Structure 1
């Protein structure tokens, strides 16, 4: 499996990252420890910290700061998941009950805040002005993505452009800064830092596009979340936008009504329309375009096993089924 072979290249770095995360999440409050332990052991792919570690190694990083920042990226990602699941009222993630289902919304939000706080503590400790600046600008941008998605819930008139504005903020930005930070720690070459930033941005867009395609095309066993969850949350993602663009009459009305009411009672029929309009193929093809742009950005970076691993990661992101 490609992801395992990519991980093996930086396995020591990943283990160090996990150890560092555990060391920085010490809390005297048992509930905090319980929630964090549960969330961190629920089988995430660790793709974002992997991007940071590989980006740093591809540019010959020396030292340990890439470990600290990989941990920060994972902590921010985990915090956003805790908050997202509360906002979306999700019950399942990665095949496990969500933290809010077990401990309640209040606990999930507050533990998410705790993770954010710890992440910024680590960034400040690194004492690197550019790194601090990148984080300070990125975190409100990521929060804006979630807010934009929230205010646009149950809106069947969502455009493709608006959809991309949302996913650039809520998903691609963290990938973008992961690659950018790996480069920033390792080189002063503006061209190399920009190449890595662009790589991360396009990889993140491809990642979210495939996530949204999988929501309509894979079973709960494959993805670890409920099929058609997006429509029951009133989220208008690219497969649905494309299906509506290609439909008219009763089919179009059915989809518009499902989004407006946030119901999945006609899910089987909607899945049929999505299939017949090639909406999954369209979304996957768009993801492949971004994966290709990610790989093109890497052409500015010298060839190495680490650059090769980033290219392979681009392929994995668009070929995955979970």
Structure 2
């Protein structure tokens, strides 16, 4: 059947400086991924078909499928299995967005009305569940190892999200007994924070790279290297997103800025701000001590945090993690694909600059 509304144009990612032949192969692969995504989210019930495709039709970066395709190019290149693996990962990501927007009470996602605003919380959660199920069905055709990886990834994703949500319960936030409100240079606090990011974001991006390498015919060592790279770049991706939650405007990001501040989450900029002993920062520290419920106070906190040195410190930290991701690529044969992966790291990290 035909989807009840017009989907966004197929996403054709561009990476600055990428080899033209590689770019053409990746663009062809992304077109196949986009077509397959629309095929599997379709449904006999028009309302379910529309709700399923709501965020898919809004576009998005398709970062995870892109990484799957690029990772396959380290081996023999993309094929039908690589496409389905990319689809399974992207569906899992899309499903998580439906749930995230309910938890965050977000109004915007990808520049359009969020699913929870459009369809209500209950339907948004159920559509997310349906998409998780669809992802599992697609991955099941890839074999038992792929199914186990998908399951383990889902466990990590949920675990990271649960620990992330616990930050809001105690005001200043605590993870596994480690307070996140103190010194940002405290290894325990930073390790706990980065551990959350590795699970809630890094795990799925690691699986995107792992699937691409596996089904692209790479050897075990290369699969392991690309999996580790994927997790590291996933942490960079989330660190950059956390910075953008402060720095961006809704009109340019397609999201509602200040979501983390509303929830009282102690992201890295807030952690660094809390190290300040400057009396002039007292108002910022008061505002970021817990969830902010008043819109005017959210805007005030955003304005104060955007001007604070903590943003520069958090950006520098993001660049350090990006450097760690790049270093993992040193073990791979030099060539256009590795160059593209280096450029991908740069693109992810620079989003926050």
Q: Does 1:311 align with 2:342?
A: yes
Choose which of 117, 127, 137 in structure 1 pairs with 2:152.
137
* Greater helix fraction, Structure 1 or Structure 2: 1
Q: Which moved more, 1:20-29 or 1:102-111?
A: 20-29
Q: Secondary structure at the match of 2:106?
A: coil
Give the distance between the partners of 1:256 and 1:41, measured in 2 at CA.
40
Q: Residue 203 of structure 1: which of 233, 243, 265 is its match?
A: 233
Aligned length: 320
Matched, 1:301 2:332: yes
Q: Deviations over 1:123-179 (max 9, x none)?
A: 11112x332221121111101111111122153242333221211111111111111
1:272, 1:219 → 2: CA distance?
A: 11
Task: Map 1:235-314 to 2 at 5 A.
Answer: 235-247=265-277, 251-252=281-282, 254-263=284-293, 264-314=295-345
Shift, 1:276, TM fit:
5.0
CA deviation string 1:173-206 (max 9, x = no partner): 1111111111122345222111101110111111
Query: What is the rounded CA distance, in whole Å, between the counterparts of 1:17 and 1:190 in structure 2?
Result: 25
- Superposed displacement of residue 36, structure 1: 2.1
User: 1:8 offset after TM fit, Å?
Assistant: 4.8
- Aligned residue in 1 for 2:243: 213
- Counterpart residue number, 2:168: 153
The 5-angstrom pairing of residues 53-72 of structure 1 reads 53-61=69-77, 63-72=79-88
Match of 1:175 among 195, 205, 219: 205
Q: 1:123 to 1:261 in 2, by over 3 A?
A: closer
Cα distance, 1:64–1:228 mapped onto 2, change above 3 Å: same
Residues 44, 276 of structure 1: CA spacing in aligned structure 2 closer, same or farther, 3 A cutoff? closer
List gaps (5 residues or longer) in structure 1.
none
Matched, 1:114 2:130: yes
TM-score, normalization by structure 2 = 0.84
Shift of 1:271: 3.6
Report how far residue 40 of structure 1 moved.
0.4
- Structure 2 CA distance for aligned equivalents of residues 14 and 3 of structure 1: 8
Greater mean alpha carbon deviation, residues 155-164 or residues 134-143: 155-164
Range that drifts further, 129-138 or 206-215? 129-138
Aligned equivalent of 1:37: 53
Q: Distance in 1 between matches of 2:92 and 2:78?
A: 24
Partner residue in 2 for 1:82: 98
Structure 1 length normalisation: TM-score? 0.92
Q: Following TM superposition, by how much is the alpha carbon of 1:248 offset from its aligned partner in structure 2, in angstroms?
A: 5.4
Aligned to 1:4: 14
Give the structure 2 partner of residue 229 of structure 1: 259
Q: Deviations over 1:48-98 (max 9, x none)?
A: 110011001121236320000000111000000000000111111122110
Question: Structure 2 unaligned runs (5+)?
Answer: 1-11, 173-178, 181-188
